[in-house]
Structure 1
Amino acid sequence: MFFANLLGSGNLTDSGSDFWRRFLGSSRNSTGITVTPDSALALPVLQNCVSLLAESIGQLPLEVFQRYGEGQRKPAINHPLYDVLRYQPNGFQTPYELREAEQLALGMHGNSFGLVERRGDGNVTAIWPLDPERVGVFRGSDLLPYYQVGAHPERLPMRQIHHVRWHSRNYYRGLSPIELHADAIGLAEAVRQYTGKSFANGVAISGVIERPREAPPIKDQTSINSITDQWAQKYGGMDNAKKVALLQEGMTFKPMSMSNVDAEVLGILKVSGTDVARIYKIPLPMVNDLEKSNYNTLEQLLIHYVVFALLPWVKRHEQAKMRDLLLPQDRRDHFIEFNISGLLRGDQKSRYEAYAIGRQWGWLSVNDIRRLENLPPIQAGDIYLQPLNMIDSTKGMPDLNNPGVRAQLEMQQRQIERMLAQ
């Protein structure tokens, strides 16, 4: 109660987006373009960034594990949450679809909300996605968040909502990357709108028509409009490009040089696309900008993407799921984890060389290696080798003339060769 009085209670946010626009500033930015999540998603580079993260999260294996022994773990296939996360999260979505939608909402709105359905003993039976624009977050007198969904009069407690949030200034609701970076996204939208309108309304023979000075001016606006309309109809737009014009009555055509904005439009498009990629920390080759990449660096770029762009989102999902979906008594011996090891693999030759070193020096078994390669275990594959030269120096070197010692060395060599051949 002391902390509640110290920090205050009551509404932290309201249910609509007006509060956030007041808090962060209007999403109408310096370019004059109103930026919304829907309009931002129409930008190819932004759609590429958010969908790349969403599809990466969606395809990663996600399981509930149970700890046992010393540092051992196994899939908790008998836990009620296992089937929800692995096979059917709700009545209509696949696990991939739900996780993809959660990450898409995070990338666009900074928040992902799901309605949690529980059975009598408190275990989760379903997770239903919620529209983040229709969910309000409130701080109660107990300092815990409460949620109001749409026009529903009752505010729901944490146990009924699965909430994953991005960076937050108030710790309860995540910031929207779209509204936070409205200027950068608005610039990209403005340039694309300008380019599109230029192609739609531009004249292929770019310039002006001049009449001789001694010719009497045309004062009838209807006649002027008729001439310009006919010109635009015959020579305007991409379909009429490269047509030949016939001028009469001493009229001349004066080409107009390209404006600075026209000359720099491609550069502006590139810079604005790079800014959007920076928002989500996506390496440019991952959004199909291959200008400065080569096949020698793509592997390192993939690792860079996983470690610096994808992994923070993965940890947000994992820890939010452990908080919201596991019962307190289950958290000591159960945990939820994505498997990202497949994304961090090197090429086949490098992997096999690393496995050989780990096997030879004793910290990997055959089954450890097969598990990393997503292969089933084999019988007697859990044996760990110990090189004979790695012994207590006070006991001397192994006797290579001993048939038993030589047999053990030969067995180790054969096991390494079999492992590499599989």
Structure 2
Amino acid sequence: MFTSNQFSGGPVRASDPGAGWLASLLGRSIKSAAGVNVTPELALSLTTLQACVSLLAESVAQLPLVLYRRDGDKRDAATDHPAYRLLRFQPNGWQTPFEYQEGQQIANGLRGNSFAFIERDEAARPTALIPLNPDRMTVLKGADGLPYYQFEGQEPMPQRLVHHVRWFSLNGYTGVSPVQLHCNAIGLGLAMQDHASSVFANGTHLAGVLERPAVVGGAELKALSPERVAQVKAAWKAEYAGRENAMKVAVLQDGMSFKPLSMTNVEAQLLEARGASALEVAQMYKVPPHKVGLLDRATNNNIEHQGIEFVVYTLMPWLKRFEQAYNRDLLLPSEWSEYYFEFNVAGLLRGDAQSRYEAYAKARQWGWLSVNDIRRLENLPPVDGGDTYLQPLNMVPAGWMPAPGDKPKAEALAEVEQILNR
């Protein structure tokens, strides 16, 4: 049972926008300067924002997450640990590991926080992770300085019962919502999207017009009847519209002329402004523009390095947040020195086949990778005798000279012969 004096003389809600200086930055209202009310769900209607959020969520969810056990300088997958099975096979009764991890990252990408209730057995080992809606969660700062979590006004829960991953924080307890933080930029993008839709719904967009003068040869022409206008339009469309009628020569009578209509400057500026808004959204999430379909300045010369930069500078911070939160929340303090979670990003950091094989050749030649080490990196099964590490024969300490009469030992000769005959 929790009482008010457990929270520093009163419930200090670390996530409450009404708590002083945090309200001055975010506030309860998320109405943008463009006059559009911005919510996480509405923000997803911006294609670039949805692409950024789903790209990060799918990238994090597809990576293998392994719980390792330290054994001196070695490490092994702790397959017998409950937390390993929890995140590797079934986090709860209805979600796959991919779905759970994707949902947690989506919550972070839109709201800056993700929460999950940790079900534990009698030995305090985690048995399930139940996702909780961030909009219904209040984070309380206890008198001990630790966070407590109140879901839908229920009894506050201690930290050991809630798995919490947060984006960068201004108060140390809750992450800032990207949608709230950038509501003006997102609202501007939504406003331009609505404006463009209204133009197409209510505006007039013509490929061209047929002009008929009022006077021809000094004689005033009578206006065409509505029926005749319809006949002229139908005849023009039948004769010149469509791909099969391209490049035909038109013959016009009664002084008529055809004037094509081009895009106006206002329309061109609207397209340019929407492109700038899309680029701004990509910057919010530190996503390279080419990853979300913004190819205006993309080239194929360094696309491999850009992909590696995406992993290192965009994806890796999120992975570290999840890894360390899993270590804190799913492992007992007595296990921290022995166990740790880690995402395997080797597959995303690999270059093309030629670059990989050249790197493997050097690593094999200089002795820090064995055949089986390389095969594991390529997701291949090990082979017999593949755990031998090579050492160049001409590598000796500086100034070393063999003593007269020194001969290689029989064991060394046998090892060299085995390597050469493999």
Question: TM (normalized to structure 2)?
Answer: 0.80
Counterpart position of 1:251: none
AA aligned to 2:180 is: E
Deviations 1:154-186 (A, max 9, x none): 001101100000011100010000000011111
RMSD of aligned Cα (Å)? 3.2
Counterpart position of 1:275: 280
8 A Cα contact 2:139 2:147, kept in partner: yes
Counterpart position of 2:329: 324
Supply the distance in 2 between the matched residues of 1:318 and 1:377 (Cα, whole angstroms): 28
Aligned positions of 1:2-401 closer than 5 A: 10-13=10-13, 23-25=25-27, 26-68=29-71, 70-152=72-154, 154-204=155-205, 261-396=266-401
Deviations 1:298-339 (A, max 9, x none): 111110100010000000000001001111111111111110
- Structure 2 residue ranges without an equivalent (≥5): 209-232, 234-240, 242-259
8 A Cα contact 1:15 1:148, kept in partner: no
8 A Cα contact 2:148 2:156, kept in partner: yes
Question: Deviation of residue 371 (structure 1)?
Answer: 1.6
Q: Give secondary structure in 2 for the equivalent of 1:58.
A: helix
Percent identical residues: 48
Supply the distance in 2 between the matched residues of 1:9 and 1:64 (Cα, whole angstroms): 40
AA aligned to 2:346 is: S
Q: Give secondary structure in 1 for the equivalent of 2:342.
A: strand
Q: Give secondary structure in 2 for the equivalent of 1:89.
A: coil
Q: How many matched pairs?
A: 369
Question: Deviation of residue 293 (structure 1)?
Answer: 2.1
Change (3 A) 1:402 1:171: closer
Question: Deviation of residue 384 (structure 1)?
Answer: 1.0
Deviations 1:230-281 (A, max 9, x none): xxxx9xxxxxxx9xxxxxxxxxxxx999775433011101100000000110
8 A Cα contact 2:327 2:336, kept in partner: yes
Supply the distance in 1 between the matched residues of 2:376 and 2:9 (Cα, whole angstroms): 50
Question: Deviation of residue 290 (structure 1)?
Answer: 2.0
AA aligned to 1:155 is: P
Q: Give secondary structure in 1 for the equivalent of 2:13.
A: coil
Q: Give secondary structure in 2 for the equivalent of 1:63.
A: strand
Supply the distance in 1 between the matched residues of 2:24 and 2:75 (Cα, whole angstroms): 48
Question: Deviation of residue 375 (structure 1)?
Answer: 1.8
Aligned positions of 1:396-407 closer than 5 A: 396=401
Q: Give secondary structure in 1 for the equivalent of 2:95.
A: coil
